[in-house]
Amino acid sequence: MAGSKEIRTKIKSVENTRKITRAMEMVAAAKMRKAQERMRAARPYAEKMRNVAAHLSRANPEYKHAFLVKRESVRNIGLIIVTSDKGLCGGLNTNLLRLAVNEMKTWESEGKGLLICPIGNKGFGFMNRIGANVKSHLTGLGDTPHVEKLIGAVKVMLDAYVAGEIDAIYLGYNQFVNTMRQEPRVEQLLP
C-alpha cells in the first residue's frame, strides 16, 4: 500500500498536469477566437467575389470556361478537405472527417473514383491511415495561412479537373455558426 507521502506527491502531480492542460486549452481557445474573427472579417469579401464571378459567368453566356461547364457523367471526384495541423480542438476534425468518410463511401458505392487533397496534418494523417488516394497535400500552414502556400496543392486538383482526371471537385470544411458551434460541410466547388 502506498504511503501518504506518495499519495500527496501523486495528487500534486495531477493538479500540476491539470493546470498545464487548462493553460493549453486557454491558449488554443484564444487562437481559435482570433481565427474565427479573421474568417468573419473575410466572409463579406468572399461573398462579394462569389457574386461577381457568378455575374460575369451569366453576363457572357457564349464564353465557356472549363470550370463552368458541367460534365455529363461524373466518374471521378476530387475532394479537398481542410483540417487543422494539431489537435486539442475537440470534435472539429473528427466531425469533419466522419462526414467526409460518409460522403466517400457514398461515392464509392456509386462506382466513382476518388482523389483526395488534404490540407492540414490531421486530415493528411487520417487519409493515409484509411488508405485514401491522396493526389496532393499541404501541412504546416500555422495560425495565419497565406494563399501563396495553398496554390500548389489546390492547383494539382484544378489541373486534374482540366485534364479530365476529375469530373467534379468538392470542398470539405468547418463553418462556424457561432463561437460555440461549428458545422462540418462538404460542398461542390466545380460542376
Residue count (the chain) = 191
Going by C-beta distance under 8 Å and a sequence separation of 6 or more, which residues neighbour residue 135?
Answer: 78, 115, 116, 117, 156, 157, 160
- The pLDDT value recorded for residue 55 is 84
Please give the backbone phi and psi of residue 115, each rounded to the nearest 5 degrees, phi first: -120, 130
C-alpha distance from residue 17 to each of 8, 26, 168, 174, 189 (Å): 14, 14, 48, 30, 44
**28-76 confidence digits (pLDDT tens):** 788 878 877 887 888 898 889 888 888 877 787 777 778 877 888 889 9
Closest C-alpha to 118, from 88, 78, 145 = 78
C-alpha distance from residue 87 to each of 120, 126, 144, 190 (Å): 11, 12, 17, 30
Q: Does the CA dihedral 153-149-176-41 come out positive or negative?
A: negative
Q: Which three cell numbers stand for residue 46?
A: 468572399
**4-34 confidence digits (pLDDT tens):** 888 889 899 999 999 998 998 888 788 878 8
**101-142 confidence digits (pLDDT tens):** 999 999 999 999 999 999 999 999 999 999 999 999 999 887
Going by C-beta distance under 8 Å and a sequence separation of 6 or more, which residues neighbour residue 28?
Answer: 88, 89
C-alpha 83/C-alpha 117 separation (Å) is 11
Classify burial at 113, counting beta carbons within 10 Å of its beta carbon; exposed 0-12, middle 13-18, buried 19 or more. Answer: middle
